[in-house]
Amino acid sequence: MARQARIEFEGAFYHVMNRGNHRENIFLDTHDREKFYEIVGNIESRYGIIVYVFVLMSNHYHILLETPHANLSRAIQRLNGDYALYFSRRHKRPGHLFQGRYKAMLVEKETYLLELSRYIHLNPFRAGLARNPEEYKWSSLPAYATGKAHFPFTLHWEWIASRFGKKKDSATGKYLEFIREGIRDGSNPGLKAAGKWILGSDDWIKTVLKRWGNFSSRELSGVKPLRKHILVETLEEHVCNEFEIKRETLEMPMYNNVARQAMMFLAVNHGGMTLKEVSQRYGARSYYSVSKAVSRFRQRVAKDHTLHKRFRKILSNVQM
Does residue 1 sit within a domain? Answer: no
**Per-residue confidence (pLDDT) for residue 126, from 0 to 100:** 93
Tell me the C-alpha distance between 102 and 100, whole Å. 6
Q: Which one-letter DSSP state was computed for residue 61?
A: E
Same domain for 181 and 301?
no
Read off the pLDDT of residues 134-151 as tens digits, 9 standing for 90 and up: 999 999 999 999 888 889
Tell me the C-alpha distance between 44 and 272, whole Å. 16
**Per-residue confidence (pLDDT) for residue 80, from 0 to 100:** 97
Distance of CA 197 to the CA centre of its chain: 16
Tell me the C-alpha distance between 104 and 63, whole Å. 9
State pTM to two decimals.
0.70
Q: What is the CATH number of the domain that holds 243?
A: 1.10.1750.10
**Per-residue confidence (pLDDT) for residue 320, from 0 to 100:** 58
Q: Which of 19-23, 45-49, 74-78, 274-278 has the lowest mean pLDDT?
A: 274-278
Same domain for 159 and 248?
no
Of 201, 223, 245, which closes a domain? 223
CB atoms within 10 A of CB 25: 14
Same domain for 216 and 238?
no
Q: Is residue 141 a contact partner of residue 134, using CB atoms and an 8 Å limit?
A: yes
Average the pLDDT over 15-40 and give the result: 97
Tell me the C-alpha distance between 236 and 259, whole Å. 10
Name 223's bridge partners: 6
Q: Which helix (H) or strand (E) holds 110?
A: helix 109-121
Cα radius of gyration (the chain):
21
Read off the pLDDT of residues 167-184 as tens digits, 9 standing for 90 and up: 888 888 999 999 998 887
Of 195, 223, 251, which closes a domain? 223
Same domain for 33 and 137?
yes
| Cα angle for residues 159, 164, 167 (degrees, 5° grid) | 90
Q: Based on the number of CB atoms within 10 Å of its own CB, is 15 exposed (0-12), middle (13-18) or buried (19 or more)?
A: buried
Q: Average model confidence (pLDDT) for the chain? A: 87
Tell me the C-alpha distance between 11 and 196, whole Å. 20
**Per-residue confidence (pLDDT) for residue 101, from 0 to 100:** 86
Q: How far is CA 36 from CA 177, 195, 226, in A?
A: 29, 30, 30
Q: Which residues constitute the domain of residue 214? A: 6-223
Average the pLDDT over 272-288 and give the result: 85
Q: What is the CATH number of the domain that holds 105?
A: 3.30.70.1290
Read off the pLDDT of residues 193-232 as tens digits, 9 standing for 90 and up: 888 889 999 888 888 887 765 444 443 333 344 445 688 8
Read off the pLDDT of residues 155-168 as tens digits, 9 standing for 90 and up: 998 889 889 988 88
**Per-residue confidence (pLDDT) for residue 221, from 0 to 100:** 37
Tell me the C-alpha distance between 205 and 242, whole Å. 37
Name 14's bridge partners: 65, 106
Same domain for 27 and 168?
yes
Does residue 32 sit within a domain? Answer: yes
Tell me the C-alpha distance between 13 and 16, whole Å. 9
Give how many domains the chain has, as a whole number. Answer: 2
Same domain for 305 and 175?
no
Read off the pLDDT of residues 70-127 as tens digits, 9 standing for 90 and up: 899 999 999 999 999 999 999 999 889 998 889 999 999 999 999 999 999 999 999 9
Q: How far is CA 57 from CA 33, 52, 85, 128, 143, in A?
A: 10, 17, 19, 11, 17
Same domain for 112 and 143?
yes
Same domain for 137 and 267?
no
172-176: list long-range contacts, CB under 8 Å, 24+ apart.
Answer: 172/144, 172/145, 172/146, 172/147, 175/144, 176/133, 176/134, 176/144, 176/145
